[in-house]
């Protein structure tokens, strides 16, 4: 809003914030200053201080249902730092199979990373109910049982429902997975295109959630 109308004189705060974050990410990736080194350690480490407790979030993307599908996910340590990730193309399949295969893959990677206590963040409420609740799906029993079996590898596992807006990093990896040939790519380090989103997560930046009027209680 213009200053003449009691505003701050900033027409688009969102664009301004994105530009500032982009500039800061660029400086942090090359600077030798202590603050930049600290941020690089926070965003990317292969030697986390505590892999006893880790968190994982993932996203499954599909084009059509059934249709071409991709998935992606990442593992972070107890300080929120990158530990590992993946992106994969699942070919032509349904949305529910995509969600379950993505969950199975991130449980495998978390176990390979040595995590013993795991927080599983997912935005697919139905999958959460299938794997950790009392409901099931007879058609997808094998995939559901695979996920339940993998959960037994951890001393503690805590499923946590999260909204899509809080899952941007995994969402980005899933979009990259759609463009792959029919294969799985394990990621030791985050792709360059993901670093800005990881930085925003580390800074605690949030995105507004859009809710349709039909779902609001007026």
Written as one string, the DSSP assignment of the chain is --GGGTS-S-S-HHHHHHHHHHHHHHHHHH--SHHHHHHHHHHB-SS-S--SEEEEEEEEEEEETTEEEEEEEEEE-TTS-EEEEEEEEEEEE-HHHHHHHHHHHHHHHHHHTT-SEEEEEES-HHHHHHHHSS---GGGHHHHHHHHHHHTTSSEEEEEE--GGG-HHHHHHHHHHHTS-SSEEEESS--GGGHHHHHHHHHT---PPP--GGGS--
The verdict on 165 and 106 lying in the same domain is yes
Is residue 15 located within the same domain as residue 120?
no
Asked if 129 and 58 sit in the same domain, the reply is: yes
In a domain, 205, yes or no: no
Q: Check residue 48 and give its pLDDT.
A: 40
* 174 domain residue, yes or no: yes
* Residue 62, domain extent: 50-187
Q: Are residue 55 and residue 108 in the same domain, yes or no?
A: yes
In a domain, 112, yes or no: yes
Are both 17 and 68 inside the same structural domain?
A: no
Task: Say if residue 131's pLDDT is above 90.
Answer: yes
* pLDDT band per the 50, 70, 90 thresholds, residue 145: very high
> Per-residue confidence at 139, pLDDT binned at 50, 70, 90?
confident
**pLDDT tens digits, residue range 45-98?**
444 434 445 666 655 555 555 667 888 888 888 777 888 888 888 888 888 888
In this structure, the answer to whether residues 145 and 126 fall within a common structural domain is yes
- pLDDT per position as a tens digit, 190-215: 888 888 888 777 666 655 545 444 44
In a domain, 125, yes or no: yes
């Amino acid at each position: 809003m213009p200053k003449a109308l009691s505003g701050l004189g900033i027409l688009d705060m969102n664009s301004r914030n994105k530009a500032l974050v982009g500039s800061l990410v660029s400086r942090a990736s090359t600077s030798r200053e202590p603050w930049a080194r600290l941020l690089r350690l926070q965003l990317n480490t292969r030697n986390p201080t505590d892999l006893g407790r880790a968190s994982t979030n993932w996203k499954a993307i599909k084009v059509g249902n059934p249709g071409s599908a991709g998935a992606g996910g990442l593992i972070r340590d107890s300080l929120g730092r990158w530990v590992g990730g993946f992106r994969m193309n699942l070919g032509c399949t349904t949305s529910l199979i995509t969600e379950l295969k993505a969950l199975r893959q991130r449980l495998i990677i978390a176990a390979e990373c040595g995590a013993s206590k795991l927080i599983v963040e997912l935005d697919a409420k139905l999958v959460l109910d299938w794997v950790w609740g009392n409901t099931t799906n007879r058609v997808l029993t094998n995939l559901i049982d695979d996920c339940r079996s993998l959960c037994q590898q951890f001393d503690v596992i805590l499923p946590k429902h999260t909204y899509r807006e809080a899952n941007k990093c995994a969402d980005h990896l899933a979009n990259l997975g759609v463009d792959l040939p029919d294969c799985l790519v394990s990621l030791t380090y985050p792709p360059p295109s993901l670093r800005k989103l990881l930085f925003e997560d580390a800074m605690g930046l949030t995105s507004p959630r859009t809710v349709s009027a039909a779902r609001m209680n007026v």
